[in-house]
Amino acid sequence: MKSFKIQLFTALALAIVFVLSGCSQKEVQTLPAFTLTPFSADEYVSSVDNFVIVLDASSSMDKPYMENKKFDMATQIVSRINRTLPELGQNGALRSFGHSPAISDKNTVLFYGMEQYATYALGEKLKMISEPGGTSALHTALTASGQEELASVYGKTAVIIISDGQPEFSLESPITLKTAQALKDQYGPELCYYPVLVGDDEKGAVLMDDIARIGECGFVSNADNLLTNAGMAGFVEDVFLAPKPAPPVAAPAPTEIKGLNEQGVWVVEDTHFDFDESIIKPAAFEYLDHIAEIMQAYPDMQVQVQGHTDSIGTKAYNDALSMRRAQAVKTYLVNKGVQKERLSLEGFGFSKPVASNNTAEGRALNRRVELHRK
């Protein structure tokens, strides 16, 4: 009989262990498996300068939703954001509100940042937020963010709020919305809200929608979607990333551009002006068109347009005439699509001849315009 009782007790104990183990396994399995979608730093840049993840760890998050604790879903979302997001020099922070007294006796705690984002560091700090409890003091967390982590940074900031949207006891959503609005007013268009609703509470959904509208530049997401691979990848890309712009085409060396001499100067031979004239001759049009095409192909190129004259007449008159000739060439190039800010003017009068002013041929060569790459 004694042996039978021992066997019965053992069987019951094993059955209990099996049931508990099965429930635990079932709970873990309900969260979708995660396959990382890589985002290469070679292809993306950060679209934000700073981000703050505000994690709801209050007692309402200890309740089940779709066979999982809402707290487990929320922490898993933070973990998956952290694993997906590439380190691109942005600043990051992780703040929670609520949580068990065993974690902290404060109703909001900044666990990580504000500092240059590092995947490992944020992941280690996330582990410290291990147990929910306490009240849903979202408004307290937002106020603290404005006073602490956001007070020392500048630029575009994303505030990601992961919560079920449950109110703090008798405090209804207006106090939360008032605080969210105050933070938005403080940081202006640079701050955007990206609430993530965990669960299906109708009032919580309304609160998350209202917060996103206050931000004006963010959007609401659902935890169910973010726990899918595609949903997480899309969220990270939309909130944090922008395609890396193509590198600017470097301006070629002077010898690589048709028409430039060894000094990197365009000498428009067919722009030799008639005596006392600043009208461009039609023979120069094709060459100036070529220069306009080159400048449009290399938008970083800056050019100084220099006008010159022969030696007949006074210095003052020829200085003014040389400026009129330079202006005529600039106007032509601007009319061909070159931004006027890229073209500066200089008039040298007869101070820089390239030929003798004692002959008609030499004076004709001196009545010219040169374009110098800066």
Dihedral in degrees, nearest 10, Cα atoms 184, 53, 133, 223: 100
Considering the chain, what is the average pLDDT of its residues? 86
Residues of the chain short of pLDDT 70, as ranges, are 1-29, 168-173, 248-264, 268-272
Residues, the chain: 374
The pLDDT of residue 252: 53
- Structural domains in the chain, CATH included, are 35-243 (3.40.50.410), 254-373 (3.30.1330.60)
Which amino acid type is present at position 83? R
Q: State whether residue 284 is helix, strand or coil.
A: helix
Both tokens assigned to 95: 């703040």
Residue the block writes with tokens 């209990």: 16
Residue the block writes with tokens 């609703």: 197
The pLDDT of residue 250: 60
The pLDDT of residue 245: 85
Dihedral in degrees, nearest 10, Cα atoms 218, 221, 223, 229: -100
> By the 8 A CB rule, do 260 and 373 touch?
yes
Q: How many CA atoms lie within 13 A of 27 on its CB side?
A: 13
Q: List all residues 6 or more positions away from 200 whose beta carbon is below 8 Å from its beta carbon.
A: 65
Cα distance between residue 300 and residue 280, in whole Å: 26
Cα distance between residue 325 and residue 310, in whole Å: 12
Both tokens assigned to 270: 């067919």
The pLDDT of residue 168: 56
